[in-house]
Amino acid sequence: MSRAAAADELVLGAEPRVDLLPPEVKAGKRVKATRRRLIAALIGVVVLVSAGVAAASWDAQNSRAELATAQARTTELLAHQAKYAEVNQVQDAVDTTVAARQFGASTEVDWKAYLSGVRAVLPADVSIDTVTVDSASPLLPFDQATAPLQAVRVATLTLSLTSPDLPSVPQWLESMKGLPGYTDATPGSITRSEIGAYKVDLTLHINDGAYSNRFAGTGGK
C-alpha cells in the first residue's frame, strides 16, 4: 500500500487532526471561560468583604453593649454616691475638726500633771504660793533667750515658793532635772518674811519634751 493510501485510510477512534470550528467559536469559548473565572473571583471578593463587614458589625455591637453596661454601672454608682453625699459631708467636717484639734493641741502641756511633778521633787515643808506660765501657742513661736548657749525652750514656769528654813536651792534644781522637758532653771531672789519663813522665786525653762501629745498619731480618736 502506498503512503498516500495509508494517509487516506480512516482509523476509527483516533483523535481528529483537523479542527473544523471557525476561529470565532474558539474565541467565544475563551471569553466565556475568562468570564467564569472573573465571576468566581468577584464572588470570592464579595464573600470576603461580607465576612469583614459582619465581623466589624459584631465587634461594634459588642462595643456598644459594653459601653451601655459601663454607663449603667456609672449611673448606679453616681446614684449611690448621691445617696451618701450627706455622710461624706459629715465625714469631711469630722476630719476638719480632728485636724483642728490636733493643731490646737500641738503645743499643749498638762500643767496640772507638771506641777504635781514639781511638787513631788520639792521638800514636803516647801509650799508653792504662786505659779506663772508663759508658753508657746500653735500660731506664735515662743520667744527664745538672747544669751548664747542657752537651750531652746517652749515654755517658762515661774514659781514663788515658801520654805520654813533657809532653802538649799541647788538641791532643788538638781531634783528638777528629772522633770519632762526640763531645760534649765534660774533661781531668783530669796527673802525672809516677818515670821521667819523664806520666800524664793524660781524660773524653769521647758522644752517640747513636756508636750502632752494627746492626739499625735491617733487621728484624734
Q: In whole angstroms, how large is the CA radius of gyration of the chain?
A: 54
The reply to whether 62 and 132 lie within a common domain is no
What is the three-class DSSP state of 92? helix
For position 202, which CATH number holds? 3.30.70.2830
Determine, yes or no, domain membership for 134. Answer: yes
* Rounded Cα gap, residues 183 and 155, in angstroms: 10
Determine, yes or no, domain membership for 81. Answer: yes
The reply to whether 116 and 196 lie within a common domain is yes
Q: Look at the chain and report how many structural domains it folds into.
A: 2
The reply to whether 127 and 171 lie within a common domain is yes
Determine, yes or no, domain membership for 221. Answer: no
The reply to whether 115 and 97 lie within a common domain is no
Please report the pLDDT score of residue 130 as a whole number.
94
> Is the distance from CB of 157 to CB of 117 less than 8 angstroms?
no
Determine, yes or no, domain membership for 202. Answer: yes
* Rounded Cα gap, residues 220 and 78, in angstroms: 31
* Rounded Cα gap, residues 29 and 8, in angstroms: 31
Domain span at residue 138 reads 111-210
**Segment-wise mean pLDDT, segments of 10 residues, the chain, 221 residues:** 48 55 67 80 82 82 84 82 71 71 70 92 92 83 76 89 89 91 90 90 90 68 49
Please report the pLDDT score of residue 101 as a whole number.
65
> Is the distance from CB of 129 to CB of 162 less than 8 angstroms?
yes
The reply to whether 142 and 189 lie within a common domain is yes
Helices (H), the chain: 3-8, 23-83, 85-104, 111-121, 169-176
The reply to whether 78 and 101 lie within a common domain is yes
The reply to whether 30 and 74 lie within a common domain is yes
Please report the pLDDT score of residue 20 as a whole number.
59
The reply to whether 156 and 183 lie within a common domain is yes
The reply to whether 100 and 121 lie within a common domain is no
The reply to whether 100 and 122 lie within a common domain is no
Among 105, 130, 145, identify where a domain stops.
Answer: 105
Determine, yes or no, domain membership for 2. Answer: no
Q: Please provide the DSSP assignment of 118-159 as one string.
A: HHHHS-TT-EEEEEEEEE--SSSPPPPP-STTPPP-SEEEEE
The reply to whether 144 and 187 lie within a common domain is yes
CA distances from 99 to 94, 96, 181, 216 (A): 9, 5, 25, 10
Among 71, 105, 139, identify where a domain stops.
Answer: 105
Please report the pLDDT score of residue 43 as a whole number.
85
Among 56, 85, 105, identify where a domain stops.
Answer: 105
* Rounded Cα gap, residues 86 and 14, in angstroms: 104
Determine, yes or no, domain membership for 44. Answer: yes
Determine, yes or no, domain membership for 30. Answer: yes
